[in-house]
Amino acid sequence: MKVEVVAIGTELLLGQIIDSNSSWMGEQLALAGLDTHYQTKVGDNQARIVEVLRLALSRSDAVICCGGLGPTQDDLTRECIAEVMGVELVRDPVIVQRITDMFAARGRYMAANNLQQADVPVGARTIPQQPGTAPGLVCPMPDGKVVYAVPGVPYEMKEMVLGTILPDLQERSGVRASIVSRVLRTWGQSESGLAEMLAERIEQLDAQALTGAPTPTIAFLASGIEGIKVRVTAKAPTEPEALAMLDAEERVLRGLLGELVFGLDDETMESVVLDLCRAAGLRLAVAESVTGGIIASRMAAVPGASETFLGAVVAYDPVVKHTVLGVPEGPVVTEAAASAMALGVRRVLGADAALATTGVAGPTESEHVPVGTVCLAVAIGDDVTSTTVRLPGDRARVSQFAAISAADLLRRALLAREGVIAG
């Protein structure tokens, strides 16, 4: 069974509201083993909504409409579904009473237009879950297909999808399967570079799929400054079988990508680094110049960071580098300066490990050093590792890239210390 999601609301097209509802529904449909090939957004215009619904029904077996069930003039979903069904709207007295009781229970005045939320296309039924004033709808089409309508308020929508729509779709499809995904998060390689590294493996999977054998799929997801994600998706009759496919494919991909993979799913570079520090019994400090406190902010945002992360010194002015951190006089955008900063902040804050950044974010060069030049250093005890990187982008992007690159340098140093990876 193919399911399509139609998000309704001009505010979505204008970018005033981010359509997180469609993403969530797509995820839930996949977990229920239901295929989704299209997601569409359309504004509050009856002719265009009807056009989108008819197109969706021409290529999908079921359509979930999200939004447009409120009491105002631009809430047109009910009217549009009725037009597509070729029926009239009738007012449901049970829903009228339910809405009236809701307003009375809250001690609020009810405007008469709220009652239009009780209008239901002939032949449709309301969804039992109704946490708000707008009921959801299950609307069977003459050809056996179905349109569901849910409010755009996320918590109301989720209750209806989980409580009624997913079970109804699974019953209609007669097929229960599980589709699960896992994301390998990488740092240090471009999307094209990863594609080249995995090209042979992707060809192998494509050939395997042609035989009809259960086969995971691989997709690349660019995520701005957070690196490139490699998503693996598997479909199987049961969730344990699908997860077993993911486990096997993850092992293959880790073997091909090595230390480029820093985490899975929602893990961040900071959460991974702090976990490694915690496992090693190390307390961490940070010295920042070019990153101006970004690393400290990202570390502090990780739940439980206080167990490991001691704090930071933002040594933006060279005087602070010299007087607080003990950096020798001279150029401060060098690996030697970064190394001195790392050792200095480790000493000042009494940490076991430290990392440091110094560089030029621009827009103009400094100390005759090109914009985007960043020197990074990691100190674990008295052992120091340093490197120089050239980072692209404007001032903000250089600083953000530098923050993650510094954390990645520490990650690799911690793993090498434990003999997990080489160098």
Backbone dihedral region of 125: left (phi > 0), alpha (psi from -120 to 50 degrees) or beta? beta
Token pair belonging to 119: 């209008």
- Beta-carbon contacts of residue 61 (< 8 Å; ≥ 6 apart): 1, 2, 3, 145, 146, 172, 173
Task: Looking at the structure, tell me whether residues 234 and 214 fall in a common domain.
Answer: yes
Task: Looking at the structure, tell me whether residues 30 and 134 fall in a common domain.
Answer: yes
Whether omega for the bond prior to residue 363 falls within 30 degrees of 0, making it cis, is yes
Task: Looking at the structure, tell me whether residues 166 and 185 fall in a common domain.
Answer: no
DSSP assignment of 390-410: E--SSHHHHHHHHHHHHHHHH
Specify the amino acid at residue 136. G
- pLDDT (tens digit, 9 = 90+) per residue, 287-321? 999 999 999 999 999 999 999 999 999 999 999 99
- pLDDT (tens digit, 9 = 90+) per residue, 4-35? 999 999 999 999 999 999 999 998 998 787 88
Cα 373 from Cα 412, distance rounded (Å): 21
| Contact between residue 288 and residue 295 where contact means Cβ atoms under 8 Å apart | yes
Task: Looking at the structure, tell me whether residues 305 and 369 fall in a common domain.
Answer: yes
46-59 vs 77-85: helix axis angle to the nearest 10? Answer: 50
| Contact between residue 121 and residue 87 where contact means Cβ atoms under 8 Å apart | yes
CB atoms within 10 A of CB 368: 8
Task: Looking at the structure, tell me whether residues 403 and 279 fall in a common domain.
Answer: yes
CB atoms within 10 A of CB 93: 9
* Letter string b/e over residues 165-200, b meaning 16 or more CB atoms within 10 A of that residue's CB: bbeebbebbeeebbbbbbbbbbbbeeeeebeebbee
| CA nearest to 29, candidates 52, 54, 61, 55 | 61
H or E element, residue 351? none
Tell me the pLDDT band of 175, cut-offs 50, 70 and 90.
low
Task: Report the pLDDT value the prediction gives residue 421, as an integer from 0 to 100.
Answer: 43
Instruction: Find the distance separating the first CA and the last CA of the chain, reported in whole Å.
Output: 50
- pLDDT (tens digit, 9 = 90+) per residue, 213-266? 999 999 998 877 889 999 999 988 888 999 999 999 999 999 999 999 999 999
**Is there a domain that residue 422 lies in?**
no
Task: Looking at the structure, tell me whether residues 377 and 303 fall in a common domain.
Answer: yes
| Contact between residue 409 and residue 284 where contact means Cβ atoms under 8 Å apart | no
- Choose one of 214, 232, 264: the last residue of a domain: 264
What are the residues facing 233 on neighbouring strands?
Answer: 181, 217
Tell me the pLDDT band of 422, cut-offs 50, 70 and 90.
very low
Tell me the pLDDT band of 418, cut-offs 50, 70 and 90.
confident
- pLDDT (tens digit, 9 = 90+) per residue, 72-129? 889 999 999 999 999 999 999 999 999 999 889 888 888 888 899 999 999 999 999 9
Give the domain extent around 364: 269-417
Task: Looking at the structure, tell me whether residues 275 and 244 fall in a common domain.
Answer: no
Domains in the chain, number:
3
Task: Report the pLDDT value the prediction gives residue 423, as an integer from 0 to 100.
Answer: 34
Tell me how far CA of residue 256 lies from CA of 90, 181, 189, 354, 409, in angstroms.
61, 19, 13, 30, 20
CATH number for the domain that contains residue 274:
3.90.950.20
Token pair belonging to 206: 């494509």
- pTM, full prediction: 0.73
Task: Report the pLDDT value the prediction gives residue 365, as an integer from 0 to 100.
Answer: 80
- Beta-carbon contacts of residue 201 (< 8 Å; ≥ 6 apart): 218, 252, 253, 256
- pLDDT (tens digit, 9 = 90+) per residue, 349-408? 999 999 999 999 988 888 889 999 999 999 999 999 999 999 999 999 999 999 999 999
Task: Looking at the structure, tell me whether residues 42 and 152 fall in a common domain.
Answer: yes
Task: Looking at the structure, tell me whether residues 334 and 185 fall in a common domain.
Answer: no
Considering the chain, what percentage of its residues have pLDDT values greater than 70? 98
| CA nearest to 11, candidates 51, 42, 48 | 42
What are the residues facing 180 on neighbouring strands?
Answer: 234
